[in-house]
Amino acid sequence: MSGKLHVAFLWHMHQPHYEDPATGDFALPWVRLHGAAGYADMLDMALAFPQMKLGFNLVPSLMDQVDDILDRGKRDLCFRLTEIPARELTHQDREQIVRYFFMANRRTMIEPLPRYRKLDDQRAAAGKQGASLARQLSDADFLDLQTLFNLAWTGFSARREYPELRELIAKGRGFTEEDKRTVLDLHLRMMARTRDRYIAAAKGGLPEFTTSPYYHPILPLLADTDAAARCQPESPRPRRMRAPEEARWHLREAQRRFQEISGSPARGLWPSEGAVSPEVIPLAREAGFEWLATDENNIARSRIEGAFEPNRPWLCEADGREMTLIGRHHALSDAFGFQYHRTAGPSAIAHFMETLRRIPRGDTGDPALVAIILDGENPWEHYEGRGEPFLRELYQTLSSTPWIATTTISGFLREYPAKRRIRQLHSGSWVDSNFRIWIGGGEENTAWEALGAAHARLSEWSQEHGGERGELAWRRLRIAEGSDWFWWYGDKFDSGTDSIYDRLFRANLAEVYRLIGEEIPETLYRPIRQPGRLARVEPPFAAIAPDFSSPHDSYFSWHGAGKYLPGPGGAMAQPGLLRLILYGASDRDMYLRITLGEHANDGQMLRIRAAAGTSADILIALERGGDGEVRAVAPADGGVRAQALPYGVVRAAIPLSLLNLDGQRRVRLTVELMRDGLVIEQHPPDAPLEIDMESNLAPSRRWLV
């Protein structure tokens, strides 16, 4: 294996515990939906390439819910809504279906099903008022929607395994109640098949399986919320909570649960969100883990012996305990989750392989290990074909490349144990090497204080009481300790169901008080999550003609322009770089003013995709001149003009002649931000912006005062 670059994939499979204490069912459907898609697809693809050595990380909170569905008959809200015959749906049922049954990627899941696309178009036309669409749709419409939503959430493995699914996809519309029941039954059969295959693979030891803390808490913050002060000292902190015994429980019980499934303890640990601190090391070793993985930037920020060397294992000692740390390759791991789905498969794989080729391989006794670690279920709904073409080509390429050796992390460490040492481990997660996603904001800190109060009261109660009620109360508290509730607080991201995450978090804490006979605090009846900023689009209302001869824009230069303000991202989204787009047209040109702010950097590229009678892709490169200023460089032909202005603003004028309007009324517009040939952001992420050339060219009807 000398002279080869070692590459280890670890696919992280996780869901928070969605059980609603009030009903016993699951408030959100993601365990079942991913169970019929990504969880099955990823393992089946791995088993189709036995020469590929891969790792899977299974979180106990996910495994418990799979068992609840298959063995104890628990169901999620969307399953219950699907079960109801369409003609028997109440108005409230219909409103809920309209709200939840379009939770699918428009491009890859809705558009391939024409009837589903038409229903989604009706939803968009009805606006955000689900009640309006709920009244418009017929019983037949709702029956199709019930079926199509669940049909869209079947992966390539399920469709290959069950011809009934392929037949229903071909049917496309006019579904019967029996058709709908078939899809639900196949979801459950696929989940059972997948669970059996994971258990068999885990017991067989191939590929490698690892685990995470039981209910997926941020271990450093659970041990001590003041750990945040080390990596984000400027952030406000909640009232301090210290619960190292809770962190210990999540690790110990994760090992116990993992051993139930595999028959042996896990060697490796992916701490929730790659979050580490010195306090985590002895707790992980005490639980029997031999190594843990985090982000390479956390190791780079640690106090180490000698110079930092990426793609190498490290030894870390804390409180008399020592274990090995692996750093995930930050850029490549994030590329799989956030970038490659926006790029054609061959181009993305070529980028991946070229990046690997540039990494020094090390010598025979000290080879490099490139660890790719990310969510294993969430990315693939954004890829064409749910990721099958991409993954197949990726695994084929890696398997046939002579200078690549795929490996598991444990397998690599058996042959090449860590030599380098960390003196003082940095405290941080895979996101920006801090904990800002989960603590420091107003809503996040409010949630931590509510958790801390419940923990303190339950700890006090438990000194004199116990029994079944105590066990149930501790379980509810530990579910609330999970990271996902905190992820969706604040305006960083938007799941579309943030209020449900908030309600479940508070409901679990309220259940703690109820079980121990205490009065539920009034604060737990009030939402923590406040309505956040969503993407906002204001269409153009008048013709515009910015003066490109001036190095500055006035307010009047863009009066009449449309405005696009990006919103927070979803689960598989990074905080965006693009801040604002102004857009509009005259009778000759289309104009854009794109604000990147401090994120405008040399080497980036803007791709403006416009379509009317014909389509045009306009590439504008950002280059730094000898004076240090960033300049915008437009194509040499076509008459496109581009300028970079102060404060990270880029403006462009695109001749409408490039689009061959020829009677077309609407121009559709998308802006992509690229780096190294990869699309790192697309705005808007789904439907393009539109310019209505008739209303846009009308004189302004808004008075200026």
pLDDT digits (tens, 9 = 90+) for 376-422: 999 999 999 999 999 999 999 999 999 999 999 999 999 999 999 99
State residue 144's pLDDT score. 98
Angle at 330 between CA 326 and CA 333, to 5 degrees: 95
Q: CB-side exposure of 287: number of CA atoms within 13 Å?
A: 31
State residue 539's pLDDT score. 85
Q: Which of 224-238, 278-292, 487-501 has the lowest mean pLDDT?
A: 487-501
Averaged pLDDT, 507-531: 95
Q: Has residue 133 got a pLDDT over 60? A: yes
Cα 93 to chain centroid distance, Å, stands at 28
Give the largest Cα separation in the chain, rounded.
81
Q: Has residue 549 got a pLDDT over 90? A: no
Q: Has residue 665 got a pLDDT over 50? A: yes
Token representation of residue 565: 């303000």
Where do runs of H (alpha helix) occur along 308-441?
330-334, 345-357, 388-400, 409-415
Per-position b or e across 298-324, b if 16+ CB within 10 A of its CB: bbebbebeeeebbbbbbbbbbeeeebb
Confidence of residue 647 (pLDDT cuts 50, 70, 90): confident
Token representation of residue 90: 């109440």
State residue 611's pLDDT score. 82
Averaged pLDDT, 23-49: 97
Q: What is the pTM of this model?
A: 0.85
Cα 268 to chain centroid distance, Å, stands at 23
**Alpha-carbon span 53 to 399, nearest angstrom:** 10
> What angle in degrees, to the nearest 10, is found between the helix axes of 177-204 and 139-152?
10
Q: pLDDT tens, 329-348? A: 999 999 999 889 988 778 99
Residues contacting 434, CB < 8 A, separation 6+: 228, 231, 232, 428
Q: Which of 168-182, 191-205, 642-656 has the lowest mean pLDDT?
A: 642-656
Q: pLDDT tens, 350-376? A: 999 999 999 999 988 899 999 999 999
State residue 569's pLDDT score. 58
Averaged pLDDT, 671-695: 80
Pairing of strands 630-633, 615-624: antiparallel
Higher pLDDT, 675 or 583: 583
- Which residues are bridge partners to 611 per DSSP? 615, 668
State residue 634's pLDDT score. 83
Residues contacting 471, CB < 8 A, separation 6+: none
Cβ(218)–Cβ(486) below 8 Å = yes
State residue 572's pLDDT score. 47
Q: pLDDT tens, 448-497? A: 999 999 999 999 999 999 899 999 999 999 999 999 999 999 877 778 89
**Alpha-carbon span 243 to 222, nearest angstrom:** 6
Q: pLDDT tens, 267-288? A: 999 999 999 999 999 999 999 9
Averaged pLDDT, 116-142: 86
Q: pLDDT tens, 63-89? A: 999 999 999 999 999 999 999 999 999
Kind and range of the H or E element at 456? Answer: helix 442-462
Q: Has residue 686 got a pLDDT over 90? A: no
Confidence of residue 701 (pLDDT cuts 50, 70, 90): very low
Averaged pLDDT, 209-230: 98
**Alpha-carbon span 207 to 55, nearest angstrom:** 5
Q: CB-side exposure of 614: number of CA atoms within 13 Å?
A: 9
Pairing of strands 536-538, 562-565: antiparallel
State residue 623's pLDDT score. 83
Residues contacting 462, CB < 8 A, separation 6+: 470, 474
State residue 264's pLDDT score. 94
Quote the mean pLDDT of the chain. Answer: 91
- Which residues are bridge partners to 379 per DSSP? none
State residue 81's pLDDT score. 98
Cβ(107)–Cβ(122) below 8 Å = no
Where do runs of H (alpha helix) occur along 172-206?
177-204
Token representation of residue 422: 């960390």
**Alpha-carbon span 551 to 530, nearest angstrom:** 40
Angle at 319 between CA 315 and CA 321, to 5 degrees: 45
**Alpha-carbon span 401 to 405, nearest angstrom:** 8
Cα 427 to chain centroid distance, Å, stands at 22
**Alpha-carbon span 466 to 473, nearest angstrom:** 10
**Rg (Cα) of the chain, in Å, rounded?**
27
Side chain identity at 281, as an amino acid letter?
A: I
DSSP 703: P
Averaged pLDDT, 30-48: 97
State residue 699's pLDDT score. 44
Question: Which of 93, 81, 176, 78 lies closest to 135, judged by CA?
Answer: 93
State residue 568's pLDDT score. 66
Cis, peptide link before residue 684, omega less than 30° from 0: yes
Q: Which of 147-151, 461-465, 637-641 has the lowest mean pLDDT?
A: 637-641
Cis, peptide link before residue 207, omega less than 30° from 0: yes
pLDDT > 90: percent of the chain: 72
Confidence of residue 703 (pLDDT cuts 50, 70, 90): very low
Q: How many CB atoms lie within 10 A of CB 212?
A: 30
Where do runs of H (alpha helix) occur along 433-533?
442-462, 467-480, 483-487, 498-515
Averaged pLDDT, 652-676: 83
Averaged pLDDT, 306-333: 96
Per-position b or e across 615-628, b if 16+ CB within 10 A of its CB: ebebebbbeeeeee
DSSP 217: B
Three-class secondary structure of residue 178 per DSSP: helix
Cβ(95)–Cβ(134) below 8 Å = yes
Token representation of residue 477: 């508290």
Q: How many CB atoms lie within 10 A of CB 555?
A: 7
State residue 67's pLDDT score. 98
Three-class secondary structure of residue 640 per DSSP: coil
Question: Which of 243, 181, 257 lies closest to 213, judged by CA?
Answer: 257
State residue 663's pLDDT score. 67
